[in-house]
Amino acid sequence: MTTRDTILRAVRAALPPAVAAPTEYQRNEPPVSSADLLTRFTQASVASGALVLTCHGDPAPHAMHAAGSAREVLSLLPGIASTVATGTDRRALVSLELFVCTSPVGVAENGALWFATPDPCHRAALFLAERVVIVVSASTIVRDMHDAYRAIDVRATSFGTFVAGPSKTADIEQALVIGAHGPKELTVIIRET
């Protein structure tokens, strides 16, 4: 018997016993109105540090207002022109000030928004931009993460993540740092139809 076989045998012997897969989550709570979902989502987003705006109709003017004086912009939202041409070169994002995108679902329990893309530059822009603006439709806000995972297809693209608030960390000398791992500001625009 080789050393490899001995190690693998020891690993197999140390495995915990198999357990049955959990049953699907069953909610025992009454339904929540759309207005209540919107209120919960807004409160959770603000608590996470995001600025929340509500608009009726075209969100582009609100996104441009949130952009302020940003000169380096990458936008996936129609009506806002990008000033950064990325192609496949992520180095073009080195001075990105603003990234504007949409989300197909928002989560009321934690203010999270789903962002998925196969494009590596868009993926990088979400974390490299100083400010991020995400537009979500009020009709796509769901109660919790269980409902969110039912609403999205995690296999649809090569990358997907939930985003809630600007980047924050407090693990260095117990001091809160905003923007250490991502954007310093997150603006959420809720489009009501």
H/E segment holding residue 40: helix 34-47
Give residue 85's pLDDT.
76
C-beta separation of 114 from 152 below 8 A: yes
Q: Angle CA(156)–CA(158)–CA(163) in degrees, nearest 5?
A: 90
Give residue 134's pLDDT.
95
Tell me the pLDDT of the chain averaged across its residues.
88
Give residue 70's pLDDT.
80
Q: Checking DSSP bridges between strand 185-192 and strand 131-137, what pairing results, if any?
A: parallel
Task: Supply the DSSP symbol for 90.
Answer: G
Amino acid residing at 155: R
- Please name every residue paired with 75 in a beta bridge, in sequence order, or none if there are none: 100
Question: Tokens in use for 63?
Answer: 């996104």
Give residue 31's pLDDT.
85
Give residue 88's pLDDT.
65
- Cα–Cα distance, 41 to 162 (Å, whole number): 14
- CA-CA-CA-CA torsion sign (127, 129, 130, 136): negative
For 21-56, write each residue's pLDDT tens digit: 888 777 888 888 899 999 999 999 999 999 999 999
Give residue 160's pLDDT.
94
Q: How far apart are the first and last CA of the chain?
A: 69
H/E segment holding residue 178: strand 177-178
Higher pLDDT, 118 or 65: 118
pTM reported for the whole predicted model: 0.82
For 128-158, write each residue's pLDDT tens digit: 899 999 999 999 999 999 999 999 999 998 8
- Please name every residue paired with 136 in a beta bridge, in sequence order, or none if there are none: 103, 190
